[in-house]
Amino acid sequence: AVGIPFNDTNNLRLGIAEVGEAVLSSNLLGFQVGNEPDLYAAHSNRPSTYAPADYFGEFGIVVQAVNNDGNIPVKNNLIAPSVSGTNSILSAVWDTGLVETYSSSLGWLAVEHYPTNNCFATYGVGSPVDPQEVFQNFLNHTSGIYIVAAYLNSTAFAQANGKPFIMMETNTASCGGFPGLSDSFGATLWALDYGLQMAYSNFSGALLHVGGQDVYYNPFTPPPTNQSTYHQWTVGAVFYSAIVISEVFGPSGNAQIVDLQANSDSMFTPAYAIFENGAPVRLMLFNYVSDPSGASDYTATISLGGSAINQDNATPSQIQVKYLVAPSVSEKVNITWAGQSFGGPFESDGRFQGSESVQTINCDQSSNTCQVTVPAPGAALVFLSSDAYGESGNPSTETFSTTMVTKTVNTATINPSVLATSNGMSGSTWELGSTSHEGGAATLRGSMSLLSVVGAVVLSAGLLWT
């Protein structure tokens, strides 16, 4: 998504929207019209009387301008209102008639939310927050439930109006997050659970916010200064959450997410079921407890069908399991998904390192049960059929050319077809060359540089949880 400048609606600048449409084309989700407009007055960007009715009027100005701009061909992908407040503020926006009036221009309805903030440490505003004291709030299932509960009326409103509802901006804490919390395995589990809770509550998507080099909650951070060599990126804790949740949903587009309220609705060992076409295909099991001794590992007993729900036994002979694990919830580096990781700080090129490890568990069909152990701390993605597991297969790595070449000294670019058919110099064609860039240094005739780029529901359907 791209934001349309909203600081001066009397002099709109739509250049970014025009270029966005031209460059991103179908990859462009939409245009955000205003970012946290409920805070404009407090930040002196609007008069103190600025209210939802004023936003309604300014949104209309943008709609008219977009409709009149021939260089913005798509007219129905605006995102609004992206407020930072709770459902009461959203309700005030809905009451203006914004959605009904501009339905043909709206592609998405959106909100933004952070469960806490670190703004005092970053900007000296608000009150100090000790991350050690609030860390425990992220280490249980109730956190995501509490956040999402404030928006259930709005997700229902969005569905009634045929619009997807998205969490346009979120993460562990605003103003960059907390050291030791936002970059920890605890945040990995929290973001994964939170994302699934949003799906269960009819959110259509969410954006984990990315900041600069000094931001702790980044899913990924580019190399500092002008570094651009391989394995210089840093992959953050919540990027693992995004990777895992994509496998939880699967590629079908038909996934339905159900909070099982497992283990007597335990806040420390929640579980979700994923249904497709009315049948359970995957399970996501959590264990928030941080106990490396193994004493707090738990075993989930899973049954498909069975007499308890008046169905035939349907438990398969075996299942596959992928584990998301780390030594403790405070771990920041040694996080693995199915045995693979992105490495530590300044060690990633965006691809997993190591060999994938998927566990196959034999089930007891005579008792119609499968038993899956969930480590403390950790999470387990359970594939209930070979087809479900097959959907999780890793696609081939894609590579992309770049529009910019860096480190042009002592490097070369060459047409790959020329390189593939070239044997280099030999015999009388040998020449002396130099790796120096001084003007008087000897150079090879027709010197070239080489660049290699690597791119970046219903439980009666047959699931019994015990």
Q: SS3 sequence, 61-93?
A: HHHHHHHCCCCCCCCCCEEEEEECCCHHHHHHH
Mean predicted confidence (pLDDT) in 372-377: 98
Q: What is the pLDDT of residue 410?
A: 54
Phi, psi of 273 (to 5 degrees): -110, 145
pLDDT tens for each residue of 109-153: 999 999 999 999 999 999 999 999 999 999 999 999 999 999 999
Sign of CA dihedral 435, 436, 437, 440: negative
| Nearest one of 368, 388, 375, 387 to 464, comparing CA atoms | 368
Q: Which of 201, 229, 208, 142 is nearest to 411 (CA)?
A: 229
**For residue 462, what pLDDT band results from cuts at 50, 70 and 90?**
very low
Type of residue at 413: T
pLDDT band, residue 394 (cuts 50/70/90): low
Gyration radius of the chain over CA positions: 26
DSSP per-residue codes, 356-392: ---EEEE-BTTTTBEEEEE-SSEEEEEE-SHHHHHHT
**Residue 430 or residue 177, greater confidence:** 177
Checking if the pLDDT of 224 tops 60, the result is yes
Res 458: pLDDT: 29
Planar angle of CA 319, 321, 322, nearest 5 degrees: 160
Per cent of the chain over pLDDT 90 is: 79
Q: Above 60 in pLDDT, residue 459?
A: no
Is 198:143 a contact under the CB 8 Å cutoff? Answer: no
Specify the pLDDT at position 228. 62
Is residue 40's pLDDT more than 60? yes
Grade residue 464 by pLDDT with cuts at 50, 70 and 90.
Answer: very low
Integer CA distances (angstroms), 75 to 13, 31, 97, in order: 16, 10, 19
pLDDT at 348 over 90: yes
Question: Which residue from 222, 185, 220 is spatially nearest to 378, judged by alpha carbons?
Answer: 185
Does residue 451 surpass a pLDDT of 70?
Answer: no
Residue 211: burial class (beta carbons within 10 Å; 0-12, 13-18, 19+) = middle
Beta bridge partners of 208: 170
Q: Write down the pLDDT at residue 425.
A: 52
Predicted confidence at residue 369, as pLDDT, reads: 96
Largest Cα–Cα distance in the chain? 87
The model's confidence at residue 266, banded by pLDDT at 50, 70 and 90, is: very high
Residue 414: pLDDT band (50, 70, 90) is: low
pLDDT of residue 431: 53
Q: Quick check: 438 pLDDT over 80?
A: no
- pLDDT confidence of residue 446: 33
Average pLDDT, the chain: 88
Q: Which two tokens stand for residue 466?
A: 């015990």
pLDDT of 417 over the 80 cut: no
Domains and CATH numbers, the chain: 2-249 (3.20.20.80), 256-397+460-465 (2.60.40.1180)
Q: What do you get for the CA distance between the two ends of the chain, in Å?
A: 42
pLDDT at 463 over 60: no
Confidence of residue 418 (pLDDT cuts 50, 70, 90): low
- Residue 318 contacts residue 405 (beta carbons within 8 Å): no
- Which tens digits make up the pLDDT trace of 185-218? 999 999 999 999 999 999 999 999 999 999 999 9
Q: In the prediction, which pLDDT does 375 show?
A: 98
Alpha helices in 51-205 (DSSP H): 52-67, 87-94, 98-101, 119-123, 131-134, 142-149, 152-160, 185-200
In the predicted structure, residue 408 carries a pLDDT above the cut 80: no
Contacts by 60-65, CB closer than 8 A, 24 or more apart: 60/101, 60/102, 61/9, 61/12, 62/4, 62/6, 62/9, 62/12, 62/33, 63/102, 63/105, 65/12, 65/14
Q: How far is Cα of residue 79 from the mean position of the Cα atoms in its chain? A: 18
pLDDT tens-digit series, residues 286-343: 999 999 999 999 999 999 999 888 999 999 999 999 999 999 999 999 999 999 999 9
Count CB-CB contacts under 10 A for residue 204: 17
Q: Measured in whole angstroms, how far is the alpha carbon of residue 272 from the centre of its chain?
A: 18
| pLDDT tens digit sequence for 73-102 | 999 999 999 999 777 899 999 999 999 999
